[in-house]
Structure 1
Amino acid sequence: MDRIVQSYIDDFLKSQQIDEKDSSKQFEMFSSYCAVAQQYTEVFDLNDILTGAGGDCGIDGIAIIANGTIISSKEEVDDLIELNKGLSDMLFVFIQSKTSSGFSSGEMGTFGAGVVDFFSETPQFVRNQFIQEKSDLINYIFSKAVHFKSKPCCFLYYVTTGKWVDDQNCVARKNMIIHDLEELDLFKEVQFIPVDVKLIQKYYRNTIDVIETEIDFSQKVLLPDIPKIKQSYLGYVDYEEYLKLIVGDNGEIRKNVFYDNVRDYQGDNEVNIEIAETIKSASNKFILLNNGVTIICKKLTNLRNKFTLTDYQIVNGCQTSHVLYYNKEFINGNLQIPIKLIETLDEDTVNNIIKATNRQTQVTNEQLIALNEFHRQLEAFYQTFSGTQKLYYERRSKQYNYMTEVEKVRIVTISTQIKAAAAMFFDKPHLASRYYGRLLKSVDGIFNEEHKLSPYYTCAYLLYKLEYLFRNKLLPAQYRKFRYHILMLIKYDFSDGKVPNLNSNKIENVCKKILECANDNVELQNEVERMIAIINKHITDASDTESTKSASLIEELKLEVNK
């Protein structure tokens, strides 16, 4: 194993709190994480992408992405269609890794054949449960093709610790696999990416380095002094310079520079079609017809007209940026984009800018939820814990992404917080597979300003500890799908069947007892095994995902645990 890669793997395992001794398994996890992170920059759980051993069709990892979200259920598909009026920016990511020091055309062929068979209507390969569930999910997505804004893209990452040298046999095999997938006529684009030792190092660095880009910004005016703004400019940049801000080294659009998916790219809606028409027929008028983009960065330095933006977000201009990217072949260079460039570290100012720029067109309340006072208070409450109880509430997308001392599994996103709270304290574990925006609308009273903050931290911390036990195989893997049910059951178990209101002092005592249990892995494991025994009384097949969505099961479990 390359020494640098091994050091990165060690850092990765620590960050993910994974206790895996098998070096090949370590490399599989590391490779899958790095590959998916090139396409999806938010926090994600490895358990949602790793295929498992046996019947994996030669595939180590699979990620299904749409509308800026990793999709794990059919319900999420339905919710995204309803909330976003369709499915856009769809990506299917497949990963295979080998610890060998070279590339084998035969093993590449096995990987490619597995992916082709994965999309076959009459598959031939033996499939394990994970592969079958992902296949069913993709089939469901294609059954909703009428809602596609465009066909999905398919990315295959084949990772080794060797060096890619364009070997004739390997290149031929790669092209054959691309051809076979293109022949299915399912995809807008197919890429087979050989990832060698240098590229996998770069991929991992991308996950921890602060994004930094230099552009030529000569056409600008310095705005007057504004309180809490270090500096700000108004002007325009040429298209080629703007492209540097939104396109990564892999040639794909940088999803991580668009703030927290405040508004997903909407595809070919009326406004975006008009923007595209302007690009194609009147690009010299683009600067007059477009409202421009707003960019906020934490650090802005310049030498004459060369500006370096560090840790920046495009807080308004997601639609414009995507339409420009997808129509780049029509741009002849005679196109300028108006921009506002702002340097500030003041959070209130950032919030006000985001609200103002995004309220000019329709944005749903759940998309701006991070700016609410309750979540600011909750973030501060999380910060009162230390040591093994330390978690990080991520109100802002990638808020802790570049703090290398923060273990990634300790980051709690708003989506995770909503699911954990809805399951544990609002008895909605059967809805946890929903898209968080839809789930939020289904739970009356969540995030009430009168609520104590400890229940919200407690459910997130307990979920974090459950994921640790499942990730390290201390609990049977097939029960991970019931983790939200387990949250609810533990709440009732520690409340003696009488759960106090979330605004009462008594709920603080319940949370304290739950946290004491969660801090002891042995005690927690015993508690969870008792809850699993309760679940087993009311299900017939632990591998059946549909049982987790049953409302009647919730009532049965509540009656059982409250006996």
Structure 2
Amino acid sequence: MADNSQQILNDVLSQQRQDVIPDVSEQDYFEVFCAEQVLKDFDLSYDEIQAGIVDGEHDGGVDSVYAFVNGELIYEDFDTTPFKKDVRIELHIIQSKTSGGFSEIPINKLISLTRHLLKLDADFSQITQYNAAVKAAVDNFRTAYRSLASRFPSLKICYYYASKKADTHVHDNLKMKADELKQAAEGLFQDAEVTVEFLGARRLLDLARRRPKTTYELRVSKSLSAVNGHVVLSTLTEYNRFLRGDGEKVKAELFESNVRDFQGNTEVNAEIVNTLRNEKAVEFWWMNNGVTILASRATLNGDTVTIENPQIVNGLQTSTQIARHFQTAEGDDNRNVMVKIVSSDNEETRDKIIKATNSQNAVQPATLRATDKVQRDIEETLKSTGLYYDRRKNYYKNEGKPADTIISIPLMAQAVMSIILRRPDTARARPSSLIKDNAVYSQVFSEAYPISMYSHAAALTRIVDRVLKSRSELSARDRSNLRFYVLFWLSCVLTGKTNPNPADVAKIDVKTVSDTSVEEAADEIWKIYEQLGATDQIAKGTELRKIALEALNEVLKPAHQLPAEEKV
């Protein structure tokens, strides 16, 4: 007799869809749900999940594609240069079906897609049976893999076939097809670890019930406690266990608030390695500055500190080298590392601690973005308008806020780049570089701008997204290519200027912005986009922006035209 898993899963999906993304179809939400569950440990935001969905005509049976380097999601402009050693690449391909049980046809499609698109020398311009979104997502993986080839990365390819109407039984014929799929991938990447997983209703419920780990325990050998803080010594063995949680891999989420990336083969790291390997007779904490952990709460009971929501805000280099040390070290290492644990829920205090603990050594200004005063101010002003600024990644997602009310830092940067700097092409082509480049960052995020400009930019972005999503003739790829151009056009029309400044945008009454005005902006941009070829390259290039700006000058003529020297 069948159990209640399918009915319970249907209830969960219905309730969560209403809470999170009520304006999407049952199938579309199931795609989001499946990606969120199977990739839970990567802690993706809703924007990141949506960016990986490639479902549509000519999708090759694939609903979503995600690739990671050392746990970091690969984007179109992903920078692989920081990854020097121990590089791990993962590719996750997901099929999500709301109708029927498991069948061979979707597996056959995956086999075909693997043979066509995972070939590193395949010319995608000659492969026409797959849509642009699928090819772009796989090409992000191929580009990263090839650029890191000299690092000899490990590779894991994971296929998921999810069906909410399937039970736990998988027919032997399907298992044989899964083996054929594995062989297709292994034939292209001989050293890769390839898995194929069938996700029926019960398995999907199990994944949904599992929560990301938020409470960790660290055993200590010595401790000193004060109000809201502890300074402890922990053996290298125990600290290594702490870093790995309940599993084998180091938990990347422990480092989300760390302002540095791992720096590779620097002199400091070489010294840490030498101390770990060769200074066995000397206490490690004598030779090392230790680690600082921020937590929402930390409680010492006996020889164990229970830490809620730990974030290693200083000591990434030390922690990384300790974890690497135990990849080859045999037995326990009873030397101690010093760990400072500070408990605080006050965001301003937390930001001060992050800055203070990273001020002793050179840190690029770009790595301290989220702690800037302007970022905290944006978070507060958006909250007053019913929007939530994702300054602390996934804080509001974990609070259960609807997806369309959450604005990430990169999305805000793209919106301001489109509206104030009039560069929708740059916003589309290089989303992550907007935050990393100091000169660009200072043009996008400034305390000199009216703070309401940011809330208006966010509100206009979500209005544009909603209207574009309602146009069924647009593919997800078209919406991604158009959204910042439509935002650019709309802001110019609303301000009556082709070069609105922050004060102009701050004066827009966003409550009166009609869907009709957005539709008109979308029609104008689509007309130019289609004439130029309607491709990713067009959206990322300068020609669409140039022609759109010329058209805007005609629409808004004779008032407020760009001076001749500012025309593109």
Instruction: Sort the TM-score into its range (normalised by shorter chain).
Output: 0.7 to 0.9
Larger mean Cα displacement after TM superposition, 261-270 or 24-33: 261-270
Residue 426 of structure 2 corresponds to residue 428 of structure 1: no
C-alpha offsets along residues 411-432 of structure 1, whole Å, 9 cap, x if unaligned?
A: 2121111111111111121111
Task: Assess, with a 3 A threshold, how the Cα gap between structure 1 residues 496 and 88 changes in structure 2: closer, same or farther.
Answer: farther
Letter in 1 for 2:369: I
- 2:461 is matched with 463
- 1:59 is matched with 62
Aligned ranges 1:137-536 → 2 under 5 Å: 137-145=140-148, 148=151, 150-161=153-164, 162=166, 164=168, 174=178, 177-185=181-189, 189-206=193-210, 209=211, 211-225=213-227, 230-240=228-238, 242-247=240-245, 251-260=248-257, 262-266=259-263, 272=269, 275=272, 287-288=284-285, 289-325=287-323, 328-335=326-333, 336-385=336-385, 390-404=386-400, 406-432=401-427, 433-434=429-430, 435=432, 436-438=434-436, 441-442=439-440, 445-473=443-471, 476-477=474-475, 478-497=478-497, 499=499, 501-502=501-502, 504=503, 506-509=504-507, 511-512=508-509, 514-517=510-513, 523-536=514-527
Residue 35 of structure 2 corresponds to residue 9 of structure 1: no
Residue 118 of structure 2 corresponds to residue 114 of structure 1: no
Structure 1 distance, partners of 2:104, 2:266, is 43
CA contact (8 A) 2:419 2:457 kept: yes
Structure 1 distance, partners of 2:104, 2:543, is 52
Task: Assess, with a 3 A threshold, how the Cα gap between structure 1 residues 552 and 180 changes in structure 2: closer, same or farther.
Answer: closer
Letter in 1 for 2:406: I
Letter in 2 for 1:221: S
Structure 2 distance, partners of 1:300, 1:98, is 43
C-alpha offsets along residues 243-295 of structure 1, whole Å, 9 cap, x if unaligned?
A: 3444466x544322212462234456665566566656667868345443222
CA contact (8 A) 1:536 1:542 kept: no
CA contact (8 A) 2:529 2:538 kept: no
Larger mean Cα displacement after TM superposition, 323-332 or 428-437: 323-332
Structure 1 distance, partners of 2:190, 2:355, is 38
Task: Assess, with a 3 A threshold, how the Cα gap between structure 1 residues 117 and 224 changes in structure 2: closer, same or farther.
Answer: same
Question: What is the CA-CA distance between 1:327 and the residue it aligns to?
Answer: 5.5
C-alpha offsets along residues 328-365 of structure 1, whole Å, 9 cap, x if unaligned?
A: 44233423543222222222331122113333444321
Question: What is the CA-CA distance between 1:180 and the residue it aligns to?
Answer: 4.0
The secondary structure found in structure 1 opposite 2:531 is: coil
Structure 2 distance, partners of 1:96, 1:372, is 40
- 1:520 is matched with none
CA contact (8 A) 1:160 1:197 kept: yes
Task: Assess, with a 3 A threshold, how the Cα gap between structure 1 residues 87 and 214 changes in structure 2: closer, same or farther.
Answer: closer
C-alpha offsets along residues 295-334 of structure 1, whole Å, 9 cap, x if unaligned?
A: 2111223443343322221222334444444564423342
CA contact (8 A) 1:41 1:255 kept: no
The secondary structure found in structure 1 opposite 2:363 is: coil
Question: What is the CA-CA distance between 1:452 and the residue it aligns to?
Answer: 0.3
Question: What is the CA-CA distance between 1:492 and the residue it aligns to?
Answer: 1.0
CA contact (8 A) 1:239 1:337 kept: no
Task: Assess, with a 3 A threshold, how the Cα gap between structure 1 residues 85 and 216 changes in structure 2: closer, same or farther.
Answer: closer
Question: What is the CA-CA distance between 1:371 and the residue it aligns to?
Answer: 1.3
Task: Assess, with a 3 A threshold, how the Cα gap between structure 1 residues 292 and 94 changes in structure 2: closer, same or farther.
Answer: farther
CA contact (8 A) 1:366 1:440 kept: yes
Task: Assess, with a 3 A threshold, how the Cα gap between structure 1 residues 423 and 145 changes in structure 2: closer, same or farther.
Answer: same
Letter in 2 for 1:181: A
CA contact (8 A) 2:37 2:208 kept: yes
The secondary structure found in structure 2 opposite 1:301 is: strand
Question: What is the CA-CA distance between 1:384 and the residue it aligns to?
Answer: 1.7
CA contact (8 A) 2:68 2:91 kept: yes
The secondary structure found in structure 2 opposite 1:540 is: helix
- 2:138 is matched with 135
C-alpha offsets along residues 16-44 of structure 1, whole Å, 9 cap, x if unaligned?
A: 424344x4554333212322343343443
TM-score computed with the length of structure 2 as normaliser: 0.82
Identity of aligned residues (%): 20
Structure 1 distance, partners of 2:438, 2:64, is 30
Letter in 2 for 1:4: I
The secondary structure found in structure 2 opposite 1:58 is: coil
Structure 1 distance, partners of 2:435, 2:85, is 15
Letter in 2 for 1:424: I
Letter in 2 for 1:55: H
Letter in 1 for 2:396: Y
The secondary structure found in structure 2 opposite 1:41 is: coil
Aligned ranges 1:62-101 → 2 under 5 Å: 62-66=65-69, 69-73=72-76, 76-77=77-78, 80-81=79-80, 89-99=88-98
Task: Assess, with a 3 A threshold, how the Cα gap between structure 1 residues 138 and 238 changes in structure 2: closer, same or farther.
Answer: closer
Task: Assess, with a 3 A threshold, how the Cα gap between structure 1 residues 457 and 11 changes in structure 2: closer, same or farther.
Answer: same
Question: What is the CA-CA distance between 1:212 and the residue it aligns to?
Answer: 3.0
Question: What is the CA-CA distance between 1:131 and the residue it aligns to?
Answer: 1.6
What 5-or-longer segments of structure 2 have no aligned partner? 555-568
Q: Match for 1:33 among 18, 36, 39?
A: 36
Structure 2 distance, partners of 1:254, 1:337, is 18
Larger mean Cα displacement after TM superposition, 430-439 or 112-121: 112-121
The secondary structure found in structure 1 opposite 2:231 is: strand
Structure 1 distance, partners of 2:303, 2:100, is 45
What is the aligned residue count? Answer: 537
The secondary structure found in structure 1 opposite 2:443 is: coil
